[in-house]
């Protein structure tokens, strides 16, 4: 059973976080990493017809198993970067950037949804790579040299991207299949 690293921080979206946690946990040990080893506040995002922007509400609290600085990425098969507002802040964590760069240098599977690509953009690992994300993050990925594709799921080498939480099923199905393929090889 390989280990999967799931990144979390205050403001991570509930569904973007919990779907990979439980889905990948069916076949792998999922380790939750964050800036510190403590409980984090997840949020729920809803598109209210009366608002022009996403409405954010408190969600669950979710405990991390490890601080980024204590993570040896060599111990992990794959990496998951949930969305929500957390990536906006997490993208400046040098230990997280070290971890992300390791996964790309070693061509290990990485899953990103929604704002998770903001971390990839700062880590400078998506230059020339096709990605998808929510339309609001298109600028971030294009400035980082990526090619934005408006599709529910984009697989580019080791990177599995999806836009919205309603597209989590196909995203996690494809990612889980890749992890099984790699473990059986």
Residue whose C-alpha is closest to residue 143's, from 162, 160, 126: 126
The tokens describing 37, both together, are 């080893």
The predicted structure's pLDDT at residue 132: 98
| Helices and strands counted in the chain (H then E) | 6, 11
**Extents of the domains making up the chain:** 3-184
Q: Are 160 and 109 in contact (CB under 8 A)?
A: yes
Query: pLDDT for 41-67, tens place per residue?
Result: 999 888 777 777 777 788 899 999 999
What are the structure tokens assigned to 15, written together? 């569904």
The structure's pTM equals: 0.96
Residue among 78, 96, 73, 83 at smallest CA distance from 19: 83
* CA 130 distance to own-chain centroid: 16
The distance between the two most distant Cα atoms of the chain, rounded to a whole number of Å, is 51
For the annotated catalytic residues, the residue numbers are 115
3-184 topology per CATH: Rossmann fold (3.40.50)
| pLDDT tens, position by position, 77-101 | 999 999 999 999 999 999 999 999 9
């Amino acid at each position: 059973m390989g280990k999967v690293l799931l990144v979390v921080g205050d403001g991570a979206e509930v569904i973007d976080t919990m779907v990979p946690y439980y889905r990948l946990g069916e076949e792998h040990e999922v380790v939750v990493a964050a800036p510190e080893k403590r409980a984090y506040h997840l949020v729920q995002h809803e598109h209210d017809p009366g608002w022009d922007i996403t409405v954010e509400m408190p969600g669950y609290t979710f405990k991390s198993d490890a601080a980024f600085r204590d993570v040896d990425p060599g111990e992990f098969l794959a990496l998951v970067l949930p969305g929500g507002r957390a990536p906006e802040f997490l993208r400046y964590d040098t230990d997280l950037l070290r971890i992300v760069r390791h996964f790309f240098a070693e061509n290990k599977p990485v899953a990103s949804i929604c704002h998770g690509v903001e971390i990839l953009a700062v880590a400078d690992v998506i230059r020339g790579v096709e990605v998808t994300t929510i339309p609001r993050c298109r600028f971030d990925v294009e400035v980082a040299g990526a090619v934005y594709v408006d599709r529910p799921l984009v697989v580019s080498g080791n990177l599995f991207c999806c836009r919205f939480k309603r597209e989590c099923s196909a995203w996690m199905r494809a990612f889980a299949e890749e992890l099984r393929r790699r473990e059986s090889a």
